[in-house]
Structure 1
Amino acid sequence: MENRISIEIPQADLAAAKAALQQVQGILAPYVIALTPEQRKTIPKMSDGTEPFVEKVMDYAVNNVEFLPPFVSQEEMQKDWSAVMGLMPLLRMVDQIKDTLSDTAMMAGSEAYLGALSYYNSVKQGAKVNAPDAKAIYEDLKKRFERRSRKGNGSVIE
């Protein structure tokens, strides 16, 4: 079993990182919203390809205001555009942090799980040969791998 990650993050560093993230949440709380899953599906979305278009429109809307429809507020469009331009660098940074945190936790979790499976299989073999204490440990750990039948009769399949 290859050990691809071996880290010990000091509790002080974890606490400092958590405090920093809480500070970021607190700073941005008055400005951020939460969308429902339905809203996320249905609203038009700006992507990397759309961003240059919106940027051009913002320039044109300022310099050629005669084409701005009366139901579109130039001031509100500018506020939205400024919000996007301010938030996108933060979002990119948070995405990078999320990806590396996720990858690190996934790898550490994978290695911990593989170690646990190796231990479980060793205990299972110990229980088969009546090694002291192995049966009790095996009986406790095997619950993770028991499956209920789909027939609903409550029987357990291992």
Structure 2
Amino acid sequence: MENKISIQIPAADLAAAKAALEQVQSILAPYVVALTPEQRKTIPKMSDGTEPFVGKVSEYAVSNPQFMPPFVPREEFEKDWEAVSGLLPLLRLCTQIEDTLSDTTMLAGSEAYISALSYYNSVKQAAKMNVPDAKAIYEDLRKRFEGQGRRTPPTP
């Protein structure tokens, strides 16, 4: 088995990172909203392609306000654009952090699970050979795999 990751993160570093993220969450709490899954499906979404368009429209709306439809409050449009412009860099940074945390956790978890399965299989063999203490450990660990035995394919 190739060991692709070998890290030990000091508890103080984990606590400091958690505290920093909680502080970010606390700072932004008055300004952020949570959408329902239905709302997420139905609202028009800004993407990397539409972001420059909206920015350009914001500039034109300031320099040429006569074209702003009366039902669109320019001040609210500007506030929305400023919010997007301020939050997008934070979102991108959080996405990078999430990606690397996810990848690191996945790889470390995979290696830990492979090691655990190897231990389990060793205990299983030891229990078959009546090695002292192996049966009790095997009986405890095998509960994880109950109901996952070999299945016979359905008859056509």
TM-score band by shorter chain is over 0.9
- Residue equivalent to 2:154: none
* Identical positions, percent: 76
Q: How far apart in 1 are the matches of 2:60 and 2:147?
A: 63
Following superposition, the deviation at residue 85 of structure 1 comes to: 0.4
The range that moved more, 98-107 or 56-65, is: 56-65
Q: How far apart in 2 are the matches of 1:17 and 1:62?
A: 41
- Residue equivalent to 2:153: none
SS at match of 2:72: coil
Higher RCO, 1 vs 2 (CA within 8 Å, ≥6 residues apart): 2
- Residue equivalent to 2:45: 45
Aligned residues: 150
- Residue equivalent to 1:106: 106
Following superposition, the deviation at residue 48 of structure 1 comes to: 0.2
- Residue equivalent to 1:152: none
TM-score (ref. length: structure 2): 0.93
Q: How far apart in 1 are the matches of 2:66 and 2:14?
A: 55
Q: How far apart in 2 are the matches of 1:46 and 1:91?
A: 14
Return 5+ residue gaps in structure 1 as ranges. Answer: 149-156
- Residue equivalent to 2:143: 143
CA offset digits 1:56-112 (Å, max 9, x no partner): 211221122222111101000000000000000011001001111111111111110
Following superposition, the deviation at residue 143 of structure 1 comes to: 0.8
TM-score (ref. length: structure 1): 0.91
- Residue equivalent to 1:127: 127
SS at match of 1:147: coil
The range that moved more, 59-68 or 92-101, is: 59-68
Q: How far apart in 2 are the matches of 1:147 and 1:69?
A: 63
Mapped pair 1:57 → 2:96: no
- Residue equivalent to 1:18: 18
- Residue equivalent to 1:153: none
Runs of 4+ in 1 over 4 A off after TM superposition: none
- Residue equivalent to 1:89: 89
